Structure 1
Amino acid sequence: MTLTVTDLTISRGGIPVLEGLNFRLDAGRALVLRGPNGVGKTTLLRTVAGLQPPVTGQITNPPESIAYAAHSDGLKATLTVAENLHFWADIFGTKGIDKALAGFDLEGLVDRPAGALSAGQKRRLGLARLLVSERSIWILDEPTVSLDVASVAMFADAVRAHLATGGSALIATHIDLGLDADVLDVGPFRAVPGSGSGDFDGLDEGFL
């Protein structure tokens, strides 16, 4: 499945931050976003994931193909590890959590409440939702936050396995995951001050 972005302009708080973006993400490939903090990588990922509208341009992807993982782990603290994964399996309409448990070394934690996990364990559980989703396109915003070196390697292995089965990944990260990935530096696409549509004045992505 292919994700295509054409002549995209995106805004944050009603102010355009990136404009003129064009890229294509094919099945079996990863694309890593680079650029300084605050340039608009998170806003771009949110827009591609469908969480906020673009100012202009087009995003084309197959329906129900995207799984999005950002800074929040999206866990229910009172539910166990297994219950959290079963909850997300129900949301995505999939069955079975064994692959997710094994992929992120969670088998020994299945009965532990998510609220009792360490920061790294919570992050692994949050990322394990990607395997439960069975979605082909992963949109990932700094996915290795709170992970130790071993867990970063575990995550990179999960991405490689996803790509090997025809999946794809769009990733904003400051670290080298050792992936065979294309790189897009979004810095040159900073929006010119004053550009963009006035219809978006006052728009706050926090309410989307």
Structure 2
Amino acid sequence: MLLDVHDLSCARGGVPVLEHVSFALAAGEVLVLRGPNGSGKTTLLRTIAGLQPPLAGEIRAAPGAIAYAAHADGLKATLTVAENLAFWAGIYGTGDIAGALAAFALEGLADRPAQNLSAGQKRRLGLARLLVTGRPVWALDEPTVSLDAAAVEMFAEAVRTHVAAGGAALIATHIELGLAGLTLDVGQFRASAETRVSDFDEAFL
């Protein structure tokens, strides 16, 4: 398994949100998280990504296996599209950015500063970063925000390519992406108690 979540409980702002969450992701698998706003999808993804500690349970994955993408695009405004991708490729030691540019139709924008991109173009560039991480597990929180229909299909195709190559994807989304995979309704794991955890560390929130 690339990711094994066992009996996980997590909190938002020190208040328990989900409890006893268990699932596993193997190479080639996609799992879509469903549930209304506020149901705990983001909290679950942040916990799995290591941005906040779990209240209980285990998250088993190889060190450095998870690439996380949420609402922030994580771009340096004054760097060009190519420079942004090259920066992240350098961080992760993967080098080549040509595939990431092509996957999200960014070749024609390669020399444009990120600050001059439209919201949709910035989102495509933010998602293109996933392709230069070299990480097998993608944990994605509403990745299609600001994308038009054509860009949504680019993203879906990038996920298909990733899992076909032995990766896996965990995606919280309200839209249908046309991806073969399973769904998990996080509502079934809603915490039964809302007692605040006094010493909860959520410094990254």
TM-score (norm 1): 0.95
Match of 1:91 in 2: 91
Alignment gaps of 5+ in structure 2: none
Q: How far apart are residue 203 of structure 1 and its match?
A: 3.2
Match of 2:61 in 1: 61
Determine if contact 1:32/1:182 at 8 Å carries over to the other structure: yes
AA in 2 matched with 1:201: S
Determine if contact 1:15/1:201 at 8 Å carries over to the other structure: no
Match of 1:121 in 2: 121
AA in 2 matched with 1:68: Y
Alpha-carbon distance in structure 2 between the residues aligned to 1:182 and 1:5: 15
Match of 1:167 in 2: 167
Determine if contact 1:12/1:204 at 8 Å carries over to the other structure: no
Q: How far apart are residue 32 of structure 1 and its match?
A: 0.2
Alpha-carbon distance in structure 1 between the residues aligned to 2:201 and 2:114: 31
Match of 2:111 in 1: 111
The runs of 4+ residues in structure 1 deviating greater than 3 Å are none
Match of 2:72 in 1: 72
Q: How far apart are residue 120 of structure 1 and its match?
A: 0.3
Determine if contact 2:71/2:141 at 8 Å carries over to the other structure: yes
Alpha-carbon distance in structure 1 between the residues aligned to 2:83 and 2:176: 32
Q: Matched residue pairs, number? A: 205
AA in 2 matched with 1:205: E
Alpha-carbon distance in structure 1 between the residues aligned to 2:100 and 2:130: 8
SS state of the match for residue 57, structure 2?
Answer: strand
Percentage of pairs with the same residue: 68
Determine if contact 1:35/1:186 at 8 Å carries over to the other structure: yes
Q: Deviations over 1:138-185 (max 9, x none)?
A: 000000000000000010000000010000000000000000011000
Q: How far apart are residue 40 of structure 1 and its match?
A: 0.7
SS state of the match for residue 62, structure 1?
Answer: coil
Match of 1:185 in 2: 185
Alignment gaps of 5+ in structure 1: none
Q: Deviations over 1:71-121 (max 9, x none)?
A: 000000000000000110111111110000000000000100000000000
| 1:50 has 2:50 as partner | yes
